[in-house]
């Protein structure tokens, strides 16, 4: 082995060449090594004189070049070439020999030798090695380029997108499997055909624009269009188009990638249709809401006007009925006394109903502005208003800490009073116990009014909030049955909701929500 030696002043800046000399004559091996040294550059040189050592060196080390004598004692450079070929390594081999006939030289080149140099012309050896190493480098680059092209070709061919190449004249030059799937043509059917076979008549200008849109540095184009299949059906595609250039940068053709967007288009059309329908529905809903608002306003005004206008004649009728009862009670027969009693009672009930209807109509039209209100104060006022019922029944009315909420304080007092009053009214034999609580849940407060009364059959849980709906007769429990309807209207005016959870003989819990 000859150690690496700088052979010129620039030696350290040049790459180190690893060279294996196959020579069984030590003197000739030295002459060959000196020829390398005289050519400049840096080299690490190994020398071997037997085929076995050559195999070993080739297996264990990597070389940039092999220099082999043609005629060795028991073998030739052709044997070295055979061993090198079987190893699978791409190492340029240069035959270095004293005499080499034309036939032998041709055979060496055919077997894979990179070059041959005569021993009496060793000065050419460094140049021959440099050329052989450069050729090897080019072969490696070509191999990598070919592998990259092969991978790219495999990707193109296996892509589900239609990838098509066309010449500047508009003829199809390449056609992948994705194009066959999308358009229905095989490659044999379309190669050489004009690209216009895929273009609907009303899109012909897109084909005409291709040459004009291309050129050195032409931008990448992407747009959505329509193409025609072999069977004549149309397909929506997203088309990407860009120029193909040669090594000099000149445009040689066009490449296009088409993706089927039929499903997306259908989805967009369905979405647009649904959006139009929703817009129409929204407009219709807004119109209906305006009509309902107007109708509700009209109804409230009517109820208020009717209730107000009925007050005077009803008061007159009730007054005269009471006067008749006072003057002639016991002076007529029994039937007359009963009839007079019925008139007085009916007039009183009618006045109660009208007053309740008036109160119901005023919830929305005569409400006050919402202001922060302490619900503990509201509770105290409601219980104070119910003091007679509380004292008469011995009810125990309690509460947990209650929040401050934005509300119409007067209406909230009425709401608490209605719910607590109902709990006291519809009691069983036990002493009434009513408890009010509130729990914060997200952006609202959930209030509860719980009692130990007779309870409500769950099948009537919704009905009890309707106007004038009663579950008991007037003889059992007085009232018009409008209290819970008013409560519902108050809660809804405040943007909340109200419901009840109950079972017969197990008490009831009324819940309502108010925005926090």
Cβ neighbours of 228 (radius 10 Å): 18
Q: What does the pLDDT look like over 294-330, one tens digit per residue?
A: 766 666 666 666 666 666 677 777 787 778 778 877 7
pLDDT of residue 8: 40
Q: Which residues pair with 17 in a beta bridge?
A: 43
Cβ neighbours of 422 (radius 10 Å): 23
Residue extents of the structural domains in the chain: 2-150, 161-260, 276-351, 367-515
| Global model pTM greater than 0.75 | no
d(CA 443, CA 426): 33
Domain 2-150 CATH assignment equals 3.40.50.2300: yes
Q: Which residues pair with 47 in a beta bridge?
A: 21
Residues 6 or more apart in contact with residue 221 via CB below 8 angstroms: 213, 239, 240, 241, 242
Q: Which residues pair with 502 in a beta bridge?
A: 508
pLDDT of residue 445: 96
d(CA 382, CA 414): 7
Half-sphere exposure of 7 (CA within 13 A, CB side): 20
d(CA 496, CA 143): 77
Q: Are 512 and 450 in contact (CB under 8 A)?
A: no
Helix (H, G, I), strand (E, B) or coil at 250: coil
Q: Could you tell me the end-to-end alpha-carbon distance of the chain, in angstroms, rounded to an integer? A: 93
pLDDT of residue 213: 55
Helix (H) / strand (E) element for 376: namely: helix 375-385
pLDDT of residue 404: 96
Q: What does the pLDDT look like over 175-192, one tens digit per residue?
A: 999 999 999 999 999 999
Specify the DSSP class assigned to residue 235. Answer: E
DSSP codes joined into one string, 411-451: HHHHHHHHHHHHHHHT--SSPPEEEEEEEEETTEEEEEEEE
Protein fold of 367-515: Heat Shock Protein 90 (3.30.565)
Per-residue pLDDT of the chain (516 residues; tens, 9 = 90+): 444 443 343 444 557 889 999 988 888 888 888 888 776 667 888 998 888 888 888 888 889 999 988 888 778 888 889 999 998 888 999 988 877 777 887 888 888 888 888 888 888 888 888 888 888 888 888 888 777 777 777 777 778 889 898 888 889 999 999 999 999 999 999 999 999 899 998 887 776 555 545 555 556 678 889 999 999 999 999 988 888 887 777 888 888 889 999 988 899 889 999 989 888 888 888 888 787 777 666 666 666 666 666 666 777 777 877 787 788 777 777 777 777 777 777 777 666 666 666 666 667 656 688 999 999 999 999 999 999 999 999 999 999 999 999 999 989 998 999 999 989 988 888 899 999 999 999 999 999 999 998 888 888 776 788 765 555 444 444 545 688 888 999 999 899 999 999 888 889 999 999 998
Taking alpha carbons only, the member of 128, 48, 130, 114 closest to residue 81 is 114
Reading the block at residue 21, the tokens are 């000399």
Cβ neighbours of 210 (radius 10 Å): 19
Residue with tokens 């592998």: 147
Query: What are the phi and psi torsion angles at 201 (to 5°)?
Result: -55, -35
Residues 6 or more apart in contact with residue 17 via CB below 8 angstroms: 36, 41, 42, 43, 44, 64, 65, 129, 133
Largest CA distance in the chain: 167
Taking alpha carbons only, the member of 17, 16, 45 closest to residue 30 is 45
Protein fold of 161-260: Beta-Lactamase (3.30.450)
d(CA 298, CA 493): 17
């Amino acid at each position: 082995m000859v150690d690496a030696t700088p052979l010129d002043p620039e030696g350290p800046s040049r790459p180190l060449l690893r060279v294996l000399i196959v020579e069984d004559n030590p003197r000739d091996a030295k002459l060959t090594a000196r020829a390398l040294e005289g050519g400049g550059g840096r080299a690490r040189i190994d020398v071997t004189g037997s085929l076995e050592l050559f195999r070993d060196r080739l297996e264990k080390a990597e070389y940039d070049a092999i220099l082999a004598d043609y005629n060795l004692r028991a073998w030739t450079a052709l044997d070295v070439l055979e061993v090198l070929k079987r190893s699978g390594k791409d190492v340029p081999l240069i035959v270095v020999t004293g005499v080499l006939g034309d036939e032998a030289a041709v055979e060496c080149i055919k077997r894979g030798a990179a070059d041959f140099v005569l021993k009496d012309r060793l000065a050419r050896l460094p140049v021959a090695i440099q050329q052989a190493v450069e050729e090897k480098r080019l072969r490696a680059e070509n191999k990598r380029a070919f592998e990259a092209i092969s991978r790219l070709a495999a990707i193109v061919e296996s892509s589900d997108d239609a990838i098509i190449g066309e010449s500047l004249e508009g003829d199809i030059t390449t056609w992948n499997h994705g194009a066959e799937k999308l358009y229905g043509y095989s490659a044999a059917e379309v190669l050489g055909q004009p690209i216009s076979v895929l273009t609907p008549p009303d899109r012909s200008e897109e084909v005409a624009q291709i040459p004009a849109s291309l050129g050195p540095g032409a931008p990448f184009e992407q747009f959505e269009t329509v193409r025609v299949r072999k069977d004549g059906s149309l397909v929506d595609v997203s088309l990407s188009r860009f120029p193909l250039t040669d090594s000099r940068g000149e445009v040689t053709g066009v490449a296009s990638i088409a993706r089927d967007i039929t499903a997306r288009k259908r989805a967009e059309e369905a979405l647009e249709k649904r959006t139009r329908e929703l817009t129409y529905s929204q407009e219709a809903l807004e119109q209906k809401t305006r009509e309902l608002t107007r109708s509700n306003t009209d109804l409230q005004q009517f109820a208020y006007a009717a209730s107000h206008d009925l007050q005077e004649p009803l008061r007159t009728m009730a007054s005269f009925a009471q006067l008749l009862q006072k003057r002639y009670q016991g002076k007529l027969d029994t039937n007359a006394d009963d009839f007079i009693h019925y008139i007085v009672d009916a007039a009183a009930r009618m006045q109660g109903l009208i007053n309740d209807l008036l109160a119901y109509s005023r919830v929305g039209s005569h409400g006050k502005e919402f202001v922060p209100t302490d619900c503990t104060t509201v509770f105290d006022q409601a219980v104070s208003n119910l003091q007679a019922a509380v004292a008469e029944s011995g009810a125990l009315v309690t509460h947990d800490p209650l929040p401050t909420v934005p509300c119409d304080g007067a209406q909230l007092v009425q709401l608490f009073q209605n719910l607590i009053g109902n709990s006291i009214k519809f009691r069983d034999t036990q002493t009434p116990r009513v408890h009010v609580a509130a729990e914060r849940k997200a952006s609202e407060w959930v209030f509860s009014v719980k009692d130990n009364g007779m309870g409500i059959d769950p099948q009537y849980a919704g009905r009890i909030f309707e106007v004038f709906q009663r579950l008991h007769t007037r003889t059992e429990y007085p009232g018009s049955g409008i209290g819970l309807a008013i409560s519902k209207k108050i809660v809804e005016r405040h943007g909340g909701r109200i419901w009840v959870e109950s079972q017969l003989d197990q008490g009831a819990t009324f819940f309502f929500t108010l925005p926090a």
